[in-house]
Amino acid sequence: MAIPLIYNVRSVRARWTSTIVAVLGIAGTVGVFVAMLSLARGFKATLVASGSRDNALIMRAGSPSEMMGGITLDSIKVIADKPGIARDANGPLVTQDVVGVFPFPLISTGTDANVQVRGVSPNVLEIRKFAKIVEGRMFNSGVSELIVGKNATHTYQGLTLDNKVNFSGGKWTVVGIFDAGGSAFDSEVWCDSHVLAEILKRPNNIFQSATVHLTSPDAFQTLKDAITSDPTLNVDVIREVDYYAKQSRTMTTMITVLGGLVAGIMAIGAVFGALNTMYSAVSERGREIATMRAVGFTGSAVVFSFLVEALLIALVGGLLGCFAVLPLNGLTTSTMNFQTFSNLAFAFKITPELLAKGVFFALVMGIVGGLLPAIRAAAQPVASALRSL
C-alpha cells in the first residue's frame, strides 16, 4: 500500500526553509535554461521569419552572404524571364537589391552601430509580401527617400517619420515606417536601389542580390533547374528561408552551446542542493520512517514516497522558474549579425514547448536528487532507527 500523498505535502510544509531553498535552486536553474534557449530560439525565429518559402534569393555563385554578392543587371534580366517566377501587370516580380552598411547612433548608448540599408526595387512590397507600410507611405522611385523598419526606428536616433537624415553624402527623408512581421528586415532601412547605388558610387548595373517571387513554393525547383542549366549564368539560387536560416546558424549554435553548458553545470549544483535537502529530510525523519515501516508500509512504498516528495519540490521549482522568466517573452534586444556586420534586433521567444522542456528538466533533477536519499530511507534498519534519538 502506498503512503498517502498528504504525508509528503505536510512534511514539505514542516521543513519549509530547506524546501524553499531547494525549490529556488531548481527554479534558478530552470529559469536560466529556459531563458538561454528562448534567446537562441528568438534569434533563429527572427532570421527564419525573414524568409518566405515562395521567394528565392539569387546571388553570385559562391557568395556566403549578400554583402559579398555581385550580380549584373544583364544576368538579372535573363533570370527574370525564367519559368517559375510570378508576374503582375508590370512584368516579373523581381527586386534587385543594393546593400550597404552605415553607422547610426544607438538611442540606448549614443554610440554608432551599423545599420543595414537596402536599396530595393519600388515594387518590393509585391515580392516581400510580409512587409507592410504601417505609417507614412512607400518611397517614390528616383528620389532619396527612406522607409524604416519598425525595430530600426526604435533603435537608432533620427530614423523617425518625416525626419531628415544624412548618410553616405546624401540627404534623405524618412517617409514611411514598415512592419516586416518581426523579421530581420525590421532592423533595416529601405530605399530605391538606383539612388543608393548612385550615392555609394557603385556601378549602376551591379547589384548584391536579386529576390524573385515564385508562382508557388513548388516552383522553386523549376526555377533552379532553369537557372543552373543556363551556361551564361554563374549564380546561386537559394530559397529565401534557407538563406536566413543559414545566417542564424553560428549565433544560434553559440547561444545554445553556451546556454546548454551553463544550465548543465548549474543543474549539477542544483542536484547537489536537492540531494542535500533530501538527505537531511531522511536523516531528520529516521524515526518517522521506521515507524511507517513498523506499521507495515513496505520499503518500496517508502522509496516511492520520498521520490514523490522530491518530484513535488522539483515540480514547484520548475514551474516557478518558468513563471519567473515568462516576462522575458517578447523582450527585444539586439546584437551583431556576423554574416552582415550589421545590427539585428530580435526578441526572446518563450514557447509552450520550451516551458515543457524546462519543467521536464526540473523533474529529472528531482529524480536524480531524490532517488539515492529515498533508497537510503528505505534501507535503514527499523529497530535501531526507532531506538535512536
Partner 1 sequence: MKFSRVILANLFRKKVRLLLTIGSFAVALFLFAFLAVVKDAFGRGADVAGADRLVIINRTSIINPIPLSYRDKILRIPGVKVITHNNWFGGVYQDEKNFFPQFVIDPENQRQVFPELIVPDDQWAAFVKDRQGAIVGKRTAERFHWKIGDRIPIKSTITGNDAWEFNIDGIYHGKRPQDDETQFWFQWDYFEERVPERFKGNIGWYVLRVDNPDESPRIAKAIDNEFANSPYETKTETESAFAAGWVKQFGNIQFLILTIGAVVFFTLLLVTGNTMAISVRERTAELAVFKAIGYSDRTVLFFVLAESLVIALIGGVLGLLLAMGVVPFMSKALSGMLPNLILSPVLLVMGLLTALAVGIISGLLPGIGAMRMRVVNALRRV
C-alpha cell at 109: 548608448
Which one, 52 or 343, has the nearer CB to partner 1? 343
Contacts of residue 74, Cβ cutoff 8 Å, sequence gap at least 6: 205
Which one, 22 or 219, has the nearer CB to partner 1? 22
Q: Kind of pairing, strands 164-167 and 145-149?
A: unpaired
Which one, 169 or 296, has the nearer CB to partner 1? 169
**Gap between the terminal Cα atoms of the chain:** 28
Min CB(335)–partner 1 separation in Å: 4
Q: For residues 267 and 114, what is the distance between their CA atoms, to the nearest angstrom?
A: 38
Which one, 129 or 246, has the nearer CB to partner 1? 246
Min CB(134)–partner 1 separation in Å: 24
Which one, 283 or 300, has the nearer CB to partner 1? 283
Q: For residues 263 and 285, what is the distance between their CA atoms, to the nearest angstrom?
A: 32
Residues engaged in binding partner 1 (CB under 8 A): 17-18, 21-22, 24-25, 27-29, 31-32, 35-36, 39, 60-64, 67-68, 100-103, 106, 109, 111-114, 167-169, 200-201, 203, 234, 246, 250, 253-254, 257-258, 261-262, 265-266, 268-270, 272-273, 275-277, 279-280, 283-284, 333-336, 338, 341, 343, 389
If phi over 0 gives left and psi between -120 and 50 gives alpha, with beta otherwise, what is residue 55? Answer: beta
Min CB(235)–partner 1 separation in Å: 10
Contacts of residue 89, Cβ cutoff 8 Å, sequence gap at least 6: none
Cα angle value 88/58/340 (rounded, 5°)? 120
Min CB(349)–partner 1 separation in Å: 15
Structure-derived torsion over alpha carbons of residues 340, 341, 342, 343, reported in degrees to the nearest 10: 120
Which one, 58 or 275, has the nearer CB to partner 1? 275
Which one, 133 or 262, has the nearer CB to partner 1? 262
Min CB(372)–partner 1 separation in Å: 9
Min CB(138)–partner 1 separation in Å: 24
Specify whether the CB–CB gap between 48 and 289 falls below 8 A. no
Which one, 9 or 258, has the nearer CB to partner 1? 258
Which one, 93 or 252, has the nearer CB to partner 1? 252
Min CB(190)–partner 1 separation in Å: 16
Min CB(132)–partner 1 separation in Å: 26
- What are phi and psi for residue 179, nearest 5 degrees? -115, 115
Q: For residues 134 and 250, what is the distance between their CA atoms, to the nearest angstrom?
A: 32
Min CB(86)–partner 1 separation in Å: 29
DSSP codes joined into one string, 308-338: HHHHHHHHHHHHHHHHHHGGGTT-EEEEEET
Contacts of residue 56, Cβ cutoff 8 Å, sequence gap at least 6: 211, 212, 214, 220, 223, 224, 237, 238, 239, 240
